[in-house]
Amino acid sequence: MTRARDAEAETDSATGNTAATQPGAGTGFEAYDRDRDGVGVRNRVLVVPSVICSHTVADRIADAVPGAVSAPHDHGCGQLGDDSERTERTLVGVAANPNVAGALAVGLGCETVQSDRLAGSIADRGVPVEEVAIQREGGTDACREAGIDLATALRARIETERERVGLEAATVGVVSSDCRPSSLESADPLVGRVVERIVDAGGRALIAGNERIHAHANAVRERVATADARERFDGVTDRAYDSPAAVTATRKRAADATPEQVRRLWGDRPVRDVLEYGERAAHETGVALVDAPSAFDEAATALAAAGAQVVIHITADGIPTGHPIVPVLTVTGDRDAYDALCDDLDAFAGETTPDELLTTLRAVLDGEPTSSERHGVTSFAITRVGPSI
């Protein structure tokens, strides 16, 4: 049971053509060629605050510009060392996501993560970018007006034409946020079958949820395909051993599950790479594990920074979730959750085949809004390395 249109039978909303008559229909989708790494399935102007102090101004700028979105967060001030570096790396990665056509960095002027430096790093990734700072512009109102002008100009430069690409151009992020029985036994295997098909077509799958990795490190490591990736995997698990995280319900359920259960999320395909939080995926095809927790908002941000065009979120509780940059396709394996929240979810695993879920996913890649997009639900968060001062 899915809630998106059949991508092979209906008219494409962007071109007006019937999808079944187009080259590559049934396996491909329409996307924006960014002339950089990857193709986009959405056309956002991202207004990104470099610091918590400028997020209100960033929100107001985005609200005033059609097609613009903001990514409010509580970082960028009083952070040190690895924590500050992770924040900046993640913000750059999110701004360089292929769903972003252009970015505006908004700063205060005295923060740790400076907006001009952030904009420079975004530009280095090939993204059209502008920058504005509250103190330099002379206050909140002046910064808002200057930012609106800059974001509007970025919007005018956006490429609106799309081209059909094959499924090998897809980079799909996946996070299963709770490790409850209905997720492990129903939703995870369903998504795992779809991951296999994406990988077999030449695409990429990015899997978040390091609780699974840490609970069954040896068994997961057996599925890591290269010496390089195993070295990166060992670095992630060694750091977790040196700085153990708090015991959460998800972490405990992951430990209670079998290795076979936790690996169902990416099917039977080997792991080609292991990514740091906020790091860009560089493997050409296959599965990569992302060192991010299963908490949705933190995981989705890491997946967006890694280059995911869309995120599949598995939740037994049926929690409505979305992200400002990537469409989120929400799947539950819990019958009661689906019955209670069917308008906020995209698929019930108990009545959806892999073919049907892949059709729904292709429709989302092709521009069909997910439930969270229709409802305007978004959240954005970055995992911290340590406390701020």
Domains of the chain, with CATH numbers? Answer: 44-156 (3.40.50.2300), 169-375 (3.40.50)
| Ranges 16-30, 51-65, 273-287: which has the least confidence | 16-30
User: pLDDT tens across 1-10, in order?
Assistant: 443 333 333 3
3 state SS of 219: helix
Contact 312, 362 (CB under 8 A): no
Confidence bin at 15 (pLDDT 50/70/90): very low
For the full predicted model, state whether its pTM sits above 0.85. Answer: yes
Give me the mean pLDDT over the 215-238 stretch.
94
3 state SS of 246: coil
Cα(207)–Cα(226) distance, integer angstroms: 17
Residues 6+ apart with CB under 8 A from 186: 333, 349, 350
Residues 6+ apart with CB under 8 A from 329: 310, 311, 312, 313, 346, 347, 360, 361, 364, 370
Cα(132)–Cα(224) distance, integer angstroms: 43
Query: String of b and e for 256-269 (b: at least 16 CB within 10 Å)?
Result: ebebebbbbbbbeb
Contact 83, 386 (CB under 8 A): yes
Residue 357 has pLDDT above 80, yes or no: yes
Q: What is the enclosing helix (H) or strand (E) of 228?
A: helix 227-242
Give me the mean pLDDT over the 335-360 stretch.
96
User: pLDDT tens across 305-341, in order?
Assistant: 999 999 999 999 998 899 999 999 999 999 999 999 9
Cα 306 from chain centroid?
7
